[in-house]
Structure 1
Amino acid sequence: MGFLCENTLESIRNRAAHYDATNTFFDDDLTELRDAGYLAAFVPTVFGGSGLSLQDMTHEQMALAGAAPATALAINMHHVWVGVARAVHRTGDSSMDFVLEEAAHGELFAFGVSEAGNDLVLFGSNTQAIPHQDGSYTFHGTKIFTSLSPAWTRLGTFGVDTTDPNNPMNVWGFVDRDPEGVTVANDWDTLGMRASHSCTTHLHGALAPATRIVRRLPPGPSTDPMIFAIFSTFEILLASVYTGVATRALDLAIATARTRTSKASGTTYDQDPAIRWRIADAAIALDAIHPQIRQAAQDLDAGIDRGPLWYPQLSAIKTRATETALDVVNKAIRVSGGSSYFTRNELSRLYRDVLAGLFHPSDDESVHNAWATALLGPLSPA
């Protein structure tokens, strides 16, 4: 049995349809997860958490996503920051230990990174980071897809300090939920992942004290351990969420095939060769994803250095997992027939939720570019 017991998962599953239909945040899920200690599950025991490994968390997030994809996707962002702080601490750097301490005491961490039209993601920002004499910074800009918008208490974000135009710096810090510096828009009305409430966040002087400034890095690709930890933890846990969605969809398709009866043959659809082939085809595709996630998580837990291939390989795992999940859900709907087209059908919701996987970094184009560069070298200057 995993960290989240079956009763908790079933309780969360029973609320998912309501949250989706009403486009409301998963408040009750969050309370139940907090009460179960899940916000501190990934925190090392020395900081007061349960000490689960990254590999453990992939299993937990798959299970949670099978119950409620939007809840799992949103809480993923909290776990990513915890995973980043773990990785940084392991290098002997204590600059992010406060994340582990506060997560153990119930603070909820969110990501304020994505910006409209900014495909640099971790390597550059449209947000301004303005320095102050005491070493603090205020952030001024607009972040999108900020999951956990109604409930987060700490926001990890970054912007560019251009005080020296010849030496701009990406500044990473953590801000509190202060209405004087942070405004959360009520603009989340999407096709899927509705309960995540990943609203737009406006930073208009959001203050990060000097003790909460964790990095100042030159813009562009970086070998800094924190940047790698953000990328690796995000990609692995995101792949886990969508793999959990696909697993649930396959389970529903199997259950439907066993109960639907063909008028023509008089037998249930699990005896239909075409249905059997399609279900097997979905299972074969899904089966290939699990060992990739497991091995990558094990290697990250062990601190194994795969060198320059880490980034393209992690990108490929995320892309392969989300594309496979989309394919598996599609096949599950084909197997389950027209009833799955109704919004009351869980597969209908899973289909809308799984589409969100297309929009998370890394996208298909950047994955192919990363692999081409790794294998062939960079493009020659024009």
Structure 2
Amino acid sequence: MSDTALDATHSPLSLTTAARSATKAVDNEHVIDAMRGFAALLVAYFHCRQVEWIGMQSFHQFADKSLGLNTIVSYLTLPIAWGSAGVPIFFVISGYCIHRGAAQRLADNPAYRLDAANFWARRLARIYPVLVAALLLTLALDWTSLHFPPVNHKILDIGPKAFLVNLFSLQGVAGKTYGSNGALWTLSLEVQFYAVYPLLFALRRRFGMMPVLALVVFVNVASAFMFERNDVQFFTSFWFSWTLGAWIAELQVKRDPSRTRMPWRMYGAALMFTALGCAAFHFGQYIAFQLWALGFACYLAEALKSRHQDRSEKHAPVVLLLSRFGDFSFSLYSIHLPIFVLLSSLLYRSALQTSIFPTFAFMLVAIAVAWVFYRCVELPAMKWSASLRPAAARAR
């Protein structure tokens, strides 16, 4: 079970509640990991097409009326044009996973207070070994790519200043992402989310979840006008997506199994918001992100409810497969872009290809490297983070 997933330490007030909650946590873990794996693969292949392929518009002109295998497969990848939808999926999942354990403990014991210092220490241990290793790997891969001109346009500054900006999670505020690793822009937001989570928890404890969610909506909109329009990416502009995940965690804790389910409403809302996000993407990414977050939140809330109410249902093979990718999704997300850029530089001198098939080979390479990276870097970081949990929590 991943470290950012469900924290099964509970108040000793009710062993029955703790056991029931732990059962739900294990039951929901495959769903969460599958969605995490799906989001990582979606974003990675979205970037892979950008780095290696000429793009749908250019390909349409190139292919004309040809109906060869390359043409058919290329057109089948059209939905990947909205692959950045994986980012708000990550944000919603992160908010859910981070808040789930605290929400349960607060439900068991209204006097519960978050240990902010321990929370930050565990987050630091979980994130920073992966981040530092990803930055060093980006440096090595981009340095190699620079020896195969023309230089890929994805490679930005790999100097010390850019390294420090990304190390302190200030990309988007004090500088750009490091080298070719443009995906790291979201990691700075994650670290900022973690930094303010104790404040969010204190507000939730004092006023309740819905007032906090309403406040975050206001902050989110105001931040978009203040920062996003000036090309400054700060966590407040994406806080709504993350807090939606925390809100779903609260719903899971308070779920009443006796209530009548009407899944078509939630799944219908998920489909509607997702479609609206795809339409809005044509006009700008930011609004699309908010709509996609709403769509995925509707889906996740209903999917977790369904899993909770029917534990006898076996996980579909596709869920189990995606959950395997979910195990090392953080690693895949953190290092895939420099790998694609290096492969493109080595094999094609950064020239975009008309064939879609190299993108699949690139993905296989990235997945294999990410799995090794996970075993060597991320897994030890997870164990280190887990070791910092309070002794009583580790014992349970």
In the superposition, the TM-score normalised over structure 2's length comes to: 0.28
More helix by share: 2
More strand by share: 1
The answer to which structure, 1 or 2, has the higher relative contact order (CA under 8 A, 6+ apart) is 2
